Homo-oligomer: A and B are copies of this chain.
Amino acid sequence: MAATFSFGVDYYPEQWPEERWALDARLMAEAGINTVRLAEFGWAKMEPDPGLFNFGWLDRAIEILAAQNIQIVLGTPTASAPPWLYQRHPDAFRVLESGDRQTYGHRRYNCPNHPAYREYSMRITTRMAEHFAQHPAVIGWQIDNEFAQGDRCCCPICTKRFQDWLKKRYHNLKNLNECWGTAFWSHGYSEWSQIPAPLKTAGSPNPGLMLDYLRFSSDSYVDFQREQVKILRKRCPSHLITHNMMGFGFNQLDNFQMARDLDFVSWDCYLHTQWDVDRQVHPHDIALSHAAMRGLKQKNFWVIEQQVGLSGWEIVGKMVRPGQTRLWAYQSIAHGADGILFFRWRSARFGTEQYWHGILNHHGQTGRFYAEIQQMGRELQSLAAEVSGSSVPSQVAIIQCYDSRFAFQIQANHKDFTYTGHINQIYQAFHAQNIAVDVISPHVDLSKYQLVIAPALHVLPAAVAERLESYVASGGVLVITPRSGVKDEANAIVDLPLPGLLARLCGVEILEYIPLYDQVSQVLSLEPGAPDLLPLVANLWCEVLQPTTAQVVTRYSEDYFKGQAAITMNRYQNGRVITVGTFGQPDLYTALLPWLCELASVQPILKAPTGVEVTLRQKNQTDYLFLLNHTAQDQTVMLDAAYTDLITEEHNIKQQISLDPYGVAVLRKK
């Protein structure tokens, strides 16, 4: 980790007087910073007029940083094209789902498929790659910036591309018309060119068309990124390539596809922004994003933008208390980050992000945030070498399926249901018990997991159903939740009893499904002989399960479906499948957890008080425990063995360890 752990900042020398740069670089070095990201919004500085390139300022900035032994990650600057580009190509603005064309003044205003935008993007990428390929301080690249932002483009260029994309997928219109069911409402297309982009001005779309448009839109960005990756791979073969994703919450892109072309995943980790002032962001929310980002390539990642302080544009986000910046950065490492870059070095005096505060304040002074990061820099001196190369083991996986995620964006099924909220509900139960969870694609090997949860696996290809079947057949424990197996890949409802391709595996048929509204819920009654569980409460959605081969675990206790099965367990070859018929109240999986863990022989890493998060990283049979106190109180954690505290360097800690408010301990077993 000493060699491989990147500890740094995002820095915008172009926003500050050149005479300040040396002081900034020295202050960085004094804080233990070894990595800086540069230039991802510097296009207009690098190419002030079309075809006129100027890398001098960037060369000088890199020299000054390199002189402090700081290594550089360069951003390709295509997230914000210069004004001259939009002036030359007014149709490069994307068309929003409202049908309005975006206008100039922000960033990411472009249609990702606009030919001139793509051409200019490839040219600046090529020129940067050529210019910096041999620079000893440059270690890698971030492609563009936060692709997932904002609306999808629905412009005529995208519409045409979409039609071409459909031709590849469906080959002929007859097939497309059948798959989408265009017999409904007389939508039968007689020419490809009739197929529209789904604008809001159309009204509720055909679900098949809509799902394909979401896939196509995601593919457009995957494709755009790949073009840049190819340029960089060719010219800078030794450089690392990443992109800064946005965690679990953003809906636009299939991040599994996005991750495929990258060396590793990065993401931008913010807890308290202006968009969060009316809600609580919990440690498990961030932990879930880490798990989801780690799951994209099933390997470690970077946090390339780690929140420092108050974060907002028009308004200032919630306070960041002393210790929290360091705590959150350690949480990132605890979940598998091998790089942490703080956003941003110094608060901007100008622009939309004036209130997205950095380590230094607007007038360039150091303060409590600098001190905290400097402390962490010191701690990492010894820590890094130990933890370097370790990974985050997990016995449990949650399957995230982008087709299902997109499908629920189109049809939520219940007004209070979201796919991401459902995954969060399940993840949270494991997190509260300090049980590590991977959030993975439905297309990866499941055999390494003892417990797999496949929440609301709505769009279900046969290959995935088969994968789940093999997993269970070989002894796995699988949990299936409502609305699984409902849709085929064209977003049509299957011509099968539900849960469709999973019915045999689950050993049930769903007789009917019943949405609950008006705050109605009901307690489930445990079947005699069922495990002794906390009260389980049905909520939002009830599926009436008719067991074929499964045993009943709980039944509904009210209304006309009283007495019908709500949760079942099916033995299938060497494994078991639990079918949960209700989305339940938020704590449903908290109540189910002891039973599920017992079935799958899953253990917590360590028991800890509420608010103290424990994670494990492992290397060469050595366990590294991260203890993170997210509370404002002192906390004591009972230990199960003897440990060395890698921060305090205290050895042979046995019974217990004490954590300060927002405090952190990193323990090596023995």
Residue on B nearest A209 in the bound complex, by CB: B105
Contacting residues, chain B, for A157 (C-beta < 8 A): none
A199 to B101, CA, bound (A): 11
Residue on B nearest A313 in the bound complex, by CB: B204
A84 to B182, CA, bound (A): 13
A495 to B361, CA, bound (A): 9
**Those of A76-112 within 8 Å (CB) of chain B:** 77, 80-84, 86-87, 96, 98-107, 109
Contacting residues, chain B, for A322 (C-beta < 8 A): 560
Contact between B350 and A206 (Cβ–Cβ < 8 Å)? yes
Contact between A183 and B45 (Cβ–Cβ < 8 Å)? yes
A621 within 8 A of B: no
A480 smallest CB distance to B (angstroms): 19
- Taking a contact as CB atoms closer than 8 A, the residue among B190, B199, B362, B368 that contacts A48 in the complex is B190
A67 within 8 A of B: no
Report the stretch among A412-420, A467-475, A647-655 that lies at the interface: A412-420
Contact between B493 and A349 (Cβ–Cβ < 8 Å)? yes
Contact between B494 and A187 (Cβ–Cβ < 8 Å)? no
Contact between A517 and B204 (Cβ–Cβ < 8 Å)? no
Contact between B512 and A367 (Cβ–Cβ < 8 Å)? yes
Contact between A84 and B495 (Cβ–Cβ < 8 Å)? no
Contact between B314 and A103 (Cβ–Cβ < 8 Å)? no
| Copies of the polypeptide in the assembly | 3
Contact between A315 and B413 (Cβ–Cβ < 8 Å)? yes
Contact between B185 and A103 (Cβ–Cβ < 8 Å)? no
Majority secondary structure of chain A interface residues (helix, strand, loop or mixed): loop
Contact between B310 and A515 (Cβ–Cβ < 8 Å)? yes
A622 within 8 A of B: no
Contact between B186 and A414 (Cβ–Cβ < 8 Å)? no
**Those of A255-289 within 8 Å (CB) of chain B:** 274, 277-278, 280
CB-CB under 8 A for A105 and B199, given A84-B194, A183-B15, A560-B322: yes
Contact between A48 and B412 (Cβ–Cβ < 8 Å)? no
CB-CB under 8 A for A196 and B103, given A314-B410, A355-B411, A415-B277: yes
Contact with B along A341-370 (1 / 0, CB 8 A): 000000111111111000000111101100
Contacting residues, chain B, for A330 (C-beta < 8 A): none
Contact between A353 and B45 (Cβ–Cβ < 8 Å)? no
Q: Shortest 3 CB-CB distances between A and B: which pairs?
A: A181-B350, A184-B351, A105-B202
Residue on B nearest A93 in the bound complex, by CB: B201
A275 smallest CB distance to B (angstroms): 10
- Taking a contact as CB atoms closer than 8 A, the residue among B207, B315, B413, B497 that contacts A352 in the complex is B207
Contacting residues, chain B, for A83 (C-beta < 8 A): 187-191, 194-195
